[in-house]
Amino acid sequence: MSLQGKSVDGASRGESVETAGYSDSLRAVGQGGISADAPSVGEHSSKLRGQVANRDQFLDRLAKNFDRERVTEKPVRPDWGLKPQWEVFSELSSDELVEVLKSQCLLVHTEVMETKRAELGETLKKALERGECQSVITWKDPRFVEFGLDKVLGEYEVSEWNSEDRSGSIAAAERADVGITFSDITLAESATVVLFSGEGKGRSVSLLPRDYIAVIPKSTIVPRITQAAAEIDRRIAAGERVASCVNFISGPSNSADIEMSLVVGVHGPVHATYIIVDDA
């Protein structure tokens, strides 16, 4: 899981912790962090079928070496009597959650634009013009066509993430002025967009360009990470394939040293814009 926005080492965009299922990704982590050109676990998750060879033999050998019986039953998750995390913003309407999101965006140096679905193309164009954009990279995501953004993007030099050409896509992301993705889940409390990486949805699109634009359907906005975690659990319980790389992005790259001197753009985009679209 990759947490981008408030990093574990204190850097505000790189909240980055990633589970890696491939040996080359693990090597990349071991060499001082997750390399942008290391194979994306989330991107290739559709190719991982969940078949583990010799699992029982491996676990039996571990238990024997620890001189204890093999644990075969799953631990029971406690049912806590008090669950205050579910009460935060629980009384707010969708419009009120938008206001919470907008207020938090001020704190994480993120510009917010609101629009209706029919006007989304023009709003995106304004956002691109503000950044004097020439080149764009996007996910290979059907929502760009569904929301009518393909026409506007046709006016720019656009690259689409190609999972069959990762090195070329990474190079395109490095050159791009702006990276654009849709938000899969949006956390009002922390102004965080949640991105599920996968086929055609490389993490570099939101990380390497100078600027980042997140298109946020209003229906994706939830109070906080509690609801996002519950949705991931629901998908797993339903047998759905869930991305092995989930990115949590809270605005642009904000880093601060021990003297609290803020530096923007060290670990990711310098500017971030959220476009909230009423998709009701």
Reported as a single tens digit per residue, the pLDDT across 35-87 is 344 444 444 444 445 566 788 899 999 999 999 999 888 889 888 899 999 99
The CATH number corresponding to 2-31+39-46+92-278 among 3.40.50.10420, 3.40.50.720, 3.40.30.10, 3.10.450.40 equals 3.40.50.10420
How many Å apart are CA 82 and CA 73, to the nearest integer? 26
- What single string gives the DSSP state of each residue in 70-128? PP-SPPPPP--S--GGGTTTTT--HHHHHHHHHHHHHHTT-EEEEEEGGGHHHHHHHHH
Q: What is the mean pLDDT of residues 238-267?
A: 88
Are the beta carbons of 207 and 201 closer than 8 angstroms?
no
Q: Return the pLDDT at 262.
A: 82
Are the beta carbons of 244 and 203 closer than 8 angstroms?
no
Q: Return the pLDDT at 168.
A: 97
Paired sense of beta strands 192-196 and 246-249, if any: antiparallel
How many Å apart are CA 135 and CA 173, to the nearest integer? 9
- What single string gives the DSSP state of each residue in 10-60? S-SS--------SHHHHHHHHTTS--TTSPPTTTTGGG-----TTHHHHHH
The Cβ of residue 99 has, within 10 Å, a number of other Cβ atoms equal to 12
pLDDT digit string (tens) for 131-185?
Answer: 889 999 999 999 999 999 999 999 999 999 999 999 999 999 999 999 999 999 9
